[in-house]
């Protein structure tokens, strides 16, 4: 008879008890709940920070709008009925504004509105509204559901001289409810002074009366590709737009992609404000519904501001920490049109993960050639060696299934480096610049300058991937924009300047690269077009064809290169009665390719348009009016 043998497990072999498992699960749940709470708190902090930043921007805008009013208008203060016109303001009691522990006496004018000089009721309509209210309700589209109440005030400040005070105080209070439902507020204070010795106080803004105005801006170039489909035009029959993928049932008539870029600005009159911007790219999809808003992925924008105006330094600092940004993998989704089973489908994405840095300061040097103490801003964006998130593209997958033939309608490479964007702007007062920054002579009111440069890796147009070619031809694609002798990669740049000693200085414009395009001529079948700042021409590519036995594509292209150019305005050599201004661009390059597509009963044209926008800049100088001038 068999014997039953019982074996007792050791304590190490018995596993976990139910109590131990429950305790472990409770601990894990508590940790996860804590992490969720931390994440929610972080997201709330980011949102509230954006709200406060937007509120500060609205407050600065309101201050500048009031400072731009003629003194004889600003000095009259608010409309006498502003309190009731605004629905009553809890910050105002008995003609006094009390906020953040400070109380001031408001100025309001009881003058009849038919008088020649009237209060802000009319002259300040853009600020106060036609009913005399001092409150505006503003909304930032990116902060859905948040209303900002912008309240503007004029109050008494300084001692009266000859019956009139030489200055008035300005205050702007912006109030809103944050995402937590709490009251939030930001306050700006400023002082406006009566113009002395020049200008007409009834027509000139008090700041514009006796001080020069200077501004400068620059933007690096971008690459923009748009793709659409249409029926083939015939004699007496116009082409009609159709969906990009006729067999998918997807209502998408066009898509576009824009690459990332950077920008910088400087604005100066009584004080200087500089701004650097990282403008990331994105993609857009458009349907056939005229009432439907375009679908957008990406297009994030980050900016950094600095000023030498210590009166607002709490909201716009004089020397903020650098802004360093690199977007995450999920910041922009890949745009797809069509399905795996379709004969033709599209994919698009921008170079949204490139790293960027912005430096803005009125105290420290932001770049070589600019002395510390010169207000300046610079934004830069570097290369990301990734063929999907570091390079902007629109491609077509041809053939159903998971292994289609890929056709690059447009793609700027990134794997081997070469992509960099820079834009800067500066206001020179006490220290001169260099040959690379302009403003080498600083006299009188000084000078404002800006510049932008862009280096770009190879841009492929109409390239079949893998071993596929256009029927044994055009193995390198229909066209390529690339570097040449003197420039390893395609590049362009501009430099603009205007000031008391730079009233008509000609901008510096540079461009270097070449275009290889298929003509079927010569040993390689490719022709080469050298591109520089003065290149101005149109060339055409020879027809090419490809088929997989089901889908046949025939392509022809046109390439247009426009020259760099600049436009200067200002007939007054002294820039006194009219501002002296200049704009400049390094020129654009346009690739237009028509792909005639045939499969089954479908016969239509897909048009791809790629524009390489050149770097651009602008500068302006307006001298202060002469004493006694209007």
Whether residue 217 sits in one domain with residue 187 = no
Buried b (16+ CB within 10 A) or exposed e, 576-587: eeebbbbbbbbb
Q: Is the pLDDT of residue 193 over 90?
A: no
Q: Rounded to whole angstroms, what are the CA distances from 621 to 29, 187, 205, 219, 549?
A: 64, 31, 17, 19, 64
Task: Examine the domain organization and report whether 106 and 231 are in the same domain.
Answer: no
- The pair of structure tokens assigned to 323 is 């802004």
Residue 242 reports pLDDT greater than 80? yes
Ranges 125-129, 461-465, 615-619: which has the least confidence: 125-129
- 197 has pLDDT over 70: no
Of the listed ranges 56-70, 201-215, 444-458, 521-535, the least confidently predicted one is 201-215
Evaluate whether residue 31 is within a structural domain: no
Number of C-beta neighbours around residue 298 at 10 A = 21
Q: What residues does 376 pair with on adjacent strands?
A: 361, 426
Over residues 90-105, the pLDDT tens digits come to 888 888 899 988 998 8
pLDDT score, position 211:
78
CA atoms of 271 and 436, how far apart (whole Å): 25
Residue 544 banded pLDDT, cuts 50, 70, 90: very high
Report the distance separating Cα 48 and Cα 524, nearest Å: 60
Residue 16: inside a domain: no
Whether 29 is in a domain gets the answer: no
**Does the pLDDT value for residue 120 go beyond 70?**
no
pLDDT (0 to 100) of residue 89: 85
* Residue 117: pLDDT over 80: no
User: Residues 121, 232: one domain?
Assistant: no
In a shared domain, residues 229 and 148: no
CA 265 to chain centre: 12
Could you tell me if 257 and 220 lie in one domain?
yes
Rg (CA), the chain: 31
The pair of structure tokens assigned to 60 is 């600065």
Q: What letter would DSSP give residue 478?
A: S
What pLDDT score was predicted for residue 161? 44
60, 314 Cβ separation under 8 angstroms:
no
pLDDT bucket at 285, cuts 50 / 70 / 90: very high
Domain-embedded: residue 409? yes
Question: How much is the pTM?
Answer: 0.69
Q: What angle do CA 257, 471, 590 make, to 5 degrees?
A: 30
| Least confident segment among 118-127, 396-405, 440-449, 524-533 | 118-127
Report the pLDDT value the prediction gives residue 205, as an integer from 0 to 100: 55
Instruction: For residue 40, count other CB atoms closer than 10 A to its CB.
Output: 10
Cβ burial, residue 527 (10 Å; 0-12/13-18/19+): middle
Sheet with 135-139: list strands edge to edge.
135-139, 147-156, 167-177, 183-193
User: Do 233 and 175 reside in the same domain of the chain?
Assistant: no
Question: Residue 359: exposed, middle, or buried by beta-carbon count in 10 A (0-12, 13-18, 19+)?
Answer: buried
Q: Please state, as a whole number, how many other Cβ atoms lie within 10 Å of the Cβ of residue 383.
A: 22
Residues 431 and 518 in one domain: yes
Indicate if the pLDDT at residue 129 is higher than 60.
no
Rounded Cα distance, 377 and 305, in Å: 8
Kindly indicate the confidence band of residue 128, based on its pLDDT and cuts at 50, 70 and 90. low
| % of the chain beyond a pLDDT of 70 | 84
Same domain, 320 and 430: yes
What's the burial of 484, exposed, middle or buried (CB within 10 Å: 0-12/13-18/19+)?
Answer: middle
Are 206 and 194 a contacting pair, CB within 8 Å? yes
d(CA 415, CA 342): 30
In a domain, 472, yes or no: yes
Clarify whether residues 262 and 222 are in a common domain.
yes
pLDDT at residue 319 above 90? yes
Question: What's the rounded Cα separation, in Å, for the pair 547 and 551?
Answer: 6
Q: Residue 12: what pLDDT? A: 53
Mean pLDDT, the chain, rounded, equals 85
Mean pLDDT, residues 363-376: 94
User: What pLDDT does residue 525 have?
Assistant: 94
CA 140 to chain centre: 15
Which letter does DSSP use for residue 386 in this model?
A: -
| DSSP 8-state symbol, 17 | -
Overall domain count for the chain: 2
On whether residue 12 sits in a domain, the answer given is: no
Which residues touch 217 (CB under 8 Å, ≥6 apart)? 263, 264, 265, 266, 425, 450, 617, 618, 619
pLDDT of 122 reads 39
Q: What is the rounded CA–CA span in Å between residue 216 and residue 309?
A: 18
Exposed/middle/buried for residue 233 (C-beta within 10 Å: 0-12, 13-18, 19+): exposed
The pLDDT tens digits for 461-495 are 999 998 889 988 999 999 999 999 999 999 999 99
- The answer to whether the beta carbons of residues 352 and 327 sit under 8 Å apart is yes
Provide the phi-psi class of 162: left if phi over 0, else alpha when psi is between -120 and 50, else beta.
Answer: left
| 285 and 363 housed in the same domain | yes
Does residue 88 lie within any of the structural domains?
yes
Per DSSP, helices labelled H in 70-161 are 71-74, 82-85, 120-123, 125-128
Provide the pLDDT confidence category of residue 53 given band limits of 50, 70 and 90. confident
> What is the spatial distance between Cα 322 and Cα 413, in angstroms, rounded to a whole number?
28
Average pLDDT over residues 331-335: 93
Q: Give SS3 for 20.
A: helix
Q: Which domain holds residue 495?
A: 213-622
Give tens-digit pLDDT for 565-602. 999 988 788 898 889 999 999 999 999 999 999 988 89
Q: What is the pLDDT of residue 52?
A: 82
- Please tell me whether residues 164 and 244 are part of one structural domain: no
Residues 30-42: tens digit of each pLDDT? 777 766 655 555 4
Query: What's the confidence (pLDDT) of residue 121?
Result: 39
State the pLDDT at residue 115.
37
> Does any domain span residue 333?
yes
Give the helix ranges, DSSP H, for 178-327. none
| Same domain, yes or no: 127 and 268 | no
**What local confidence, expressed as pLDDT, does residue 368 receive?**
93
């Amino acid at each position: 008879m068999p014997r039953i043998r019982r074996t007792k497990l050791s304590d190490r072999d018995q596993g976990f008890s139910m109590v131990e498992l429950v305790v472990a699960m409770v601990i894990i749940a508590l940790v996860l709940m804590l992490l969720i709470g931390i994440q929610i708190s972080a997201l709330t902090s980011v949102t509230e920070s954006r709200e406060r930043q937007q509120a500060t921007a609205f407050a600065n805008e309101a201050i500048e709008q009031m400072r731009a009013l003629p003194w004889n208008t600003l000095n009259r203060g608010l409309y006498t009925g502003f309190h009731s016109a605004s629905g009553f303001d809890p910050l105002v009691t008995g003609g006094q504004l009390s906020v953040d522990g400070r109380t001031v006496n408001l100025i309001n004018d009881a003058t009849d509105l038919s008088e020649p000089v009237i209060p802000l009721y009319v002259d300040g309509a853009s600020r106060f509204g036609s009913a005399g209210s001092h409150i505006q309700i503003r909304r930032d589209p990116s902060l859905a559901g948040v209303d900002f109440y912008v309240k503007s005030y004029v109050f008494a400040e300084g001692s009266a001289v000859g019956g009139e005070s030489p200055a008035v105080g300005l205050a702007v209070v912006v109030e809103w409810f944050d995402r937590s439902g709490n009251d939030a507020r930001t306050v700006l204070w400023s002082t406006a002074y009566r113009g002395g010795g020049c200008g007409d106080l009834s027509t000139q803004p008090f700041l514009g009366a006796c001080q020069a105005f200077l501004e400068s801006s620059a933007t690096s170039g971008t690459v923009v590709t748009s793709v659409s489909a249409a029926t083939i035009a015939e004699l007496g029959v116009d082409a009609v737009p159709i969906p990009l993928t006729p067999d998918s049932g997807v209502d998408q008539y066009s898509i576009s992609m824009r690459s990332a870029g950077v920008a910088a600005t400087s604005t100066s009159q009584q004080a200087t404000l500089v701004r650097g911007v990282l403008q990331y790219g994105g993609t857009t999809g458009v349907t056939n519904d005229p009432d439907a808003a375009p679908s957008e992925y990406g297009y994030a924008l980050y900016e950094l501001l600095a000023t030498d105006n210590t009166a607002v330094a709490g909201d716009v600092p004089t020397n903020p920490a650098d802004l360093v940004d690199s977007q995450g993998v999920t910041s922009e989704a890949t745009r797809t049109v069509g399905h795996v089973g379709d004969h033709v489908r599209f994919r698009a994405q921008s170079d949204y993960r490139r790293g960027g840095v912005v430096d803005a300061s009125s105290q420290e040097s932001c770049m070589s050639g600019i002395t510390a103490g010169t207000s300046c801003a610079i934004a830069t964006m570097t290369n990301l060696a990734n063929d999907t998130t570091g390079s902007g593209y629109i491609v077509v997958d041809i053939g159903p299934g998971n292994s289609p033939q890929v056709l690059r309608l447009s793609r700027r490479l990134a794997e081997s480096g070469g992509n960099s964007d820079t834009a800067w702007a500066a206001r020179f007062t006490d220290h001169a610049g260099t040959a690379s920054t302009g403003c080498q002579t600083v006299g009188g009111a000084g000078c404002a300058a800006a510049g932008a440069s862009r280096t770009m890796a190879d841009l492929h147009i109409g390239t079949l991937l893998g071993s596929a070619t256009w029927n044994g031809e055009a193995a390198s694609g229909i066209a390529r924009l690339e570097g040449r002798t003197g420039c390893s990669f395609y590049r362009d740049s501009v430099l603009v300047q205007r000031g008391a000693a730079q009233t008509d200085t000609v901008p510096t414009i540079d461009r270097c690269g070449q275009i290889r395009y298929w003509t079927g001529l010569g040993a390689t079948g490719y022709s080469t077009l050298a591109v520089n700042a003065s290149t101005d021409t149109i060339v055409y590519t020879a027809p090419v064809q490809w088929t997989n036995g089901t889908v046949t594509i025939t392509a022809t292209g046109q390439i247009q290169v426009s020259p760099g150019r600049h436009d200067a305005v200002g007939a007054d050599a002294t820039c006194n009665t009219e501002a002296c201004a200049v704009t400049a661009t390094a020129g654009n390059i346009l690739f237009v390719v028509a792909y005639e597509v045939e499969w089954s009963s479908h016969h239509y044209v897909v048009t791809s348009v790629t524009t390489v926008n050149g770097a651009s800049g602008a500068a302006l100088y307006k001298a202060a009016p002469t004493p006694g001038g209007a």
